[in-house]
Chains A and B, each alone.
Chain A
Amino acid sequence: MLGSQCLFVISKGLMMNAAASRKTALNAIHRQLGARMIEFVGWDMPVQYAGPLPEHLAVRTRAGIFDVSHMGEIEFRGPAALESIQHMTCNDASRLAVGQIQYSAITTPQGTFVDDILVHRMGENHLFCCVNASNQVKDYEWFKAHARPNTDVIDRSHDFCQIAVQGPRAIEILRPLTAIQITAMRYYWFSQGEFAGVNAIVSRTGYTGEDGFEIYVDPRHAEAVWMRIMESGRPHEIQPAGLAARNTLRLEAKMALYGNDIDDTTTVLEADLAWICRFDKGDFNGRQPLLKQREEGVKRRLVGFDMVERGIARDHYPILLDGKPAGFVTSGSPAPFLQKNIGLTYLPSDRCAPGTEFDVVIRDKPVKARVVPTPFYKRPKTA
């Protein structure tokens, strides 16, 4: 076993050799903490510290701290900045107040995904997008090619390290470290100000399904900020968490992963993201085909499933509907908090109802699965 037989499920093209990889400013800290490192889309990143199970559970019950500095940040300025964003993404950024954030997608003319992103409104015509690490270069090139004249598109990725602190204890851990009133900060809002003695952007966002914050700082301050958060988090037993836990957490919360659940072959409606598709905001790339798809009826949809029989569905495993090949699992893994095996896949729209049974082919054997409502996990409402 092991060696070349070992499949790593959270991404394509992973190797143990990180010689040519980029390093975040927190790389030395990960190694000091004894993290197991892997190459992830060209970055040398921690996949785990204590282990994917304890890290996942720590985020659900206490707090986890993640280095997500590999993510990209792209800024838009100029008199046509908002207009450009409106044209290139499907959600309505004009509804954002300054300080507000929305989940959105950069769409192709076919209404499929260039990337899924977070759009932050910094000013009337000043916006900032957080994009996937895997698409940082592609998105920047796309933005430059499709932005309206009089728009400055600036790749700020090198200027930021990003640290995510996620879990029910995140707010208690971070509050003493900042002058920013994070207790009052609403979910999907952000602020700029002093954090751990340095200038930072702090947003109440995350990719785990828990309450939490994402903190953007100058790379020169990243180590010091991480250490301050760890110190503040010690009495709360804050847990450094890596990419493996990041993946199982987002899957339980049914958050899409570009390259797996969404890509340039899946439309925003097929991906079950109609809520970010604002047809009434004006024209945008892909609006026409998406409108047509809505009128004619979406033919397939991304659904969540549980395994009914024993087995773990993994990314790319084939699925059978009525015994016939019907696609493949887009994301699949054990769900550590829910203690069951879950996944996402596309099914024909008339077969998407919860309770629909199909098979996942696991090592040549069909194993029963069942469509379930999503998200699989929803964080408990606090008083």
Chain B
Amino acid sequence: MYPKENLYSKDHEWIDVKGDIGAVGITDFAQHELGDVVYVDLPEVGDRFEQGDPFGSVESVKAVSEIFSPISGEVLEVNAALSDAPELINQSPHEKAWMIKMRIGNADELKSLLSAEDYEEYIKEQSSS
């Protein structure tokens, strides 16, 4: 269910690392909790974030949730498809609905993220609490 090549944060973001660039999105668990996404607020190319900084927000009919950067870095690309089709986040959270691509500032930070297996454990714990 959760792509093995990705790393995951406890805030339910995923990052797909290729070289020094990471594509970032929110996980299937997150989109399911949110419900139908009606709006996405994303940063601009060139914006910089530290690990854990909010870089945008996702809104459903009833709630707005911030999205936190899983790593420090600079935004290189923003997924323009999401502003017209925010429902892609519900339909394809791990593929079509990547949100930003970042240049990874500090590769060591990746060590603090979870593997797919650890993330699946983590959400199992969350769901039963």
Contacts and interface: CB of A to CB of B under 8 A. Distances in A.
B17 interface: no
B28 to A, nearest CB: 13
A1 B65 contact: yes
Contacts of B2: none
Interface string B62-93: 11111110000000000000010000000000
Interface in A54-109: 56
B106 to A, nearest CB: 22
Given A1-B12, A363-B41, A314 B36 contact: no
Interface string A231-250: 00000000000001001100
Interface string B28-43: 0010011110110100
Nearest to B64: A7
Given A310-B83, A363-B57, A52 B62 contact: yes
Nearest to A242: B62
A334 B61 contact: yes
Chain A interface size, under 10 / 10 to 19 / 20 to 34 / 35 or more: 20 to 34
A247 B36 CA distance: 16
Given A1-B12, A1-B65, A341-B39, 20 more contacts: A1-B26, A1-B30, A1-B66, A1-B68, A3-B11, A6-B33, A6-B64, A7-B63, A7-B65, A8-B63, A9-B63, A9-B64, A10-B62, A51-B36, A52-B35, A53-B36, A310-B39, A310-B83, A312-B59, A312-B64
Given A52-B35, A334-B38, A363-B41, A2 B12 contact: yes
14 contacts: A1-B11, A1-B30, A2-B30, A2-B34, A2-B65, A9-B62, A9-B63, A10-B62, A48-B35, A51-B36, A244-B61, A314-B64, A333-B61, A334-B39
Closest 6 CB pairs of A and B: A52-B61, A1-B65, A244-B62, A53-B36, A334-B38, A5-B66
Contacts of B83: 310
Interface in A3-26: 3, 5-10
- Interface size class of chain B, counting residues whose CB lies under 8 Å from the partner chain: 20 to 34
Contacts of B38: 53, 312, 334
Contacts of A51: 35-36
Contacts of B65: 1-2, 5-7
Nearest to A53: B36
A6 B60 CA distance: 10
Contacts of B60: 52
A47 interface: yes
Contact of B58 (A1, A47, A341): A1
Give the interface centre of B13, B60, B83 by most chain A CB atoms within 10 Å.
Answer: B60
A120 B26 CA distance: 50
B105 to A, nearest CB: 21
B11 A2 contact: yes
A336 interface: yes
A7 B63 CA distance: 5
Contacts of A334: 38-39, 59, 61
A367 to B, nearest CB: 10
Contacts of B13: 1
Contacts of A247: 62
A222 B102 CA distance: 55
Contact of A1 (B36, B62, B67): B67
Contacts of B62: 8-10, 47-48, 52, 244, 247, 333
A234 to B, nearest CB: 24
Contacts of A8: 62-63
A3 B41 CA distance: 19
Contacts of A48: 35, 62
Nearest to B33: A2
A3 B68 CA distance: 12
Nearest to B9: A1
B85 to A, nearest CB: 14
Nearest to B66: A5
Contacts of A10: 62
A336 B61 contact: yes
B16 to A, nearest CB: 18
Nearest to A1: B65
